[in-house]
Amino acid sequence: MKIPRSPSSRLLALLPATALAVGLLAGCSDDGTADGGSTASTSVDPTEQVAENLSEFSYAGEDGKTALELLQKHDPDAQVQGKGENAYVTAVRGHEADPDTEFWGLYVDGEMAQVGAGSLVTKDGQTVTWKLEEIEK
């Protein structure tokens, strides 16, 4: 035996499905413009990255600039002990290395640098990366 439904109960049964369909269609048709014509976007340098745990930071090299100069340009709050060729980076992006167990390692194109940040002259196209490393004991 079938229970008869009123037209209003049928309408109420269709409302959730209709709302879902409208929401999906609206999401699929969004062209990214809020005002009907202009688009606003934030420009982010893809080479400048910070890992979620702040243990790695990268930026692009520039012809004739040292890794230290560029670090201070991209992270003005970086902490450095000493100057020039004797500079030693102790904090990047607000994360200070524990001097007993960690250090900030300098890499260029994935290879650990053989000189310090104040001596390493970079080139356009290179990727300079600072990684928080553990001191091996």
What confidence tens digit (pLDDT) does each residue in 17-32 have? 444 444 434 444 444 4
Whether the predicted pLDDT of 8 surpasses 50:
no
Gap between the Cα atoms of 34 and 11, Å rounded: 33
Distance between CA 72 and CA 69 in Å, rounded?
Answer: 5
Contact in structure between 128 and 106 (CB atoms under 8 Å): yes
Note down the domain range covering 100: 49-134
Decide if 22 is inside a domain: no
- The set of residues, in sequence order, having a beta carbon less than 8 Å from that of 84 and lying 6+ positions away, is 68, 118
- Is 17 inside any structural domain? no
Which CATH number fits the domain that encloses residue 116?
A: 2.170.130.30
The answer to whether residue 44 scores a pLDDT higher than 90 is no
- Tell me whether residue 23 is in a domain: no
Count: domains in the chain: 1
Structure tokens at 15: 């409302």
